[in-house]
C-alpha cells in the first residue's frame, strides 16, 4: 500500500467535489470507508482500537458539520453588552421635546443583550480533532482548517471529505493498536 498523501497534494476541486462526497455516498474511498467503518466502529460509544476511533472521530466531525452546522462543536463564552447593560435595547434619541423617546435594538449586540467574548471548539469535538492530529501528522493542516470553520462559521465543506480521505488512507496503511490510555472515551 502507498504512503499517505500530504494535505497539499489534495486537489479539493477535482478529488473532493460534489461527485466525491461522503455525504452523498460517493466519497473517494467510499467502499473502503463503509467496510472499515462497519468492521471497526461500534453502533454506539467509542471504539476499542485506535483505527476504529479515528474513523469514528472523523465521521462525528463530518456529521456535526453537515447535519448540525457545527452548532454543538463550538462553545461560546458570552458577556453582557456594556452598551445596553444587557437589556438588548437602548433609548432612541428624540428630537422633539414633546414626544417621548422610545427604545430600539442595541446596535452593539443586535438586541441580544450579550456579546461573544471568546469562542472555542467544544471539549467533546476537540478530543476528536486532537486524536486525529496526534496520530495522523499529514492531517494537521486539515484539522487547523476545520477548527477555523467551527470557530468562524466559514464554509469550506470539501475539507471534511479530505479529512475522511486522510483517515481512511491512514487506517488502510497502518496496523491497528489500542487507544491511548489517556483518551477520554465519553
Residue 138 DSSP label: G
pLDDT at 12 over 90: no
Among 87-91, 92-96, 100-104, 164-168, the least confident range: 92-96
Buried b (16+ CB within 10 A) or exposed e, 62-100: bebbeeeebeebbbeeeeebeebeeebebeeeeeeeeee
**Average pLDDT for 8-12:** 37
pLDDT band at 88 (very low <50, low <70, confident <90, very high): confident
Q: How far apart are CA 178 and CA 134, in angstroms?
A: 14
pLDDT tens, 38-85?
Answer: 999 999 999 999 999 999 999 999 999 999 999 899 887 667 788 787
Higher pLDDT, 20 or 28: 28
Q: How far apart are CA 140 and CA 181, in angstroms?
A: 22
What pLDDT score was predicted for residue 11?
A: 37
pLDDT tens, 94-146?
Answer: 666 556 667 888 887 777 777 766 788 999 999 999 999 999 999 999 999 99
Q: How far apart are CA 90 and CA 3, in angstroms?
A: 60
Q: How far apart are CA 138 and CA 160, in angstroms?
A: 14
CA angle 44, 178, 33 (to 5 degrees): 55
What pLDDT score was predicted for residue 149?
A: 93
- CB-based contact 109:84 (threshold 8 Å): yes
What pLDDT score was predicted for residue 121?
A: 93
Amino acid at each position: 500500500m502507498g504512503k499517505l498523501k500530504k494535505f497539499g497534494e489534495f486537489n479539493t476541486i477535482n478529488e473532493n467535489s460534489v461527485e466525491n462526497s461522503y455525504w452523498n455516498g460517493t466519497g473517494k474511498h467510499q467502499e473502503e470507508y463503509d467496510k472499515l467503518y462497519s468492521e471497526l466502529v461500534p453502533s454506539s460509544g467509542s471504539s476499542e482500537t485506535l483505527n476504529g476511533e479515528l474513523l469514528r472521530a472523523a465521521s462525528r466531525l463530518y456529521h456535526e458539520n453537515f447535519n448540525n452546522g457545527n452548532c454543538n462543536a463550538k462553545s461560546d463564552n458570552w458577556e453582557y453588552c456594556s452598551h445596553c447593560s444587557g437589556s438588548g435595547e437602548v433609548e432612541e434619541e428624540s428630537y422633539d421635546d414633546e414626544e417621548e423617546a422610545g427604545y430600539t435594538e442595541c446596535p452593539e449586540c443586535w438586541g441580544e443583550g450579550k456579546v461573544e467574548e471568546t469562542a472555542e471548539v467544544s471539549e467533546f469535538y476537540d478530543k476528536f480533532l486532537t486524536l486525529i492530529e496526534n496520530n495522523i501528522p499529514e492531517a494537521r493542516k486539515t484539522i487547523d482548517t476545520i477548527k477555523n470553520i467551527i470557530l468562524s462559521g466559514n464554509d469550506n465543506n470539501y475539507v471534511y471529505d479530505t479529512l475522511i480521505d486522510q483517515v481512511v488512507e491512514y487506517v488502510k496503511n497502518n496496523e491497528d493498536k489500542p487507544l491511548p490510555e489517556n483518551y477520554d472515551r465519553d
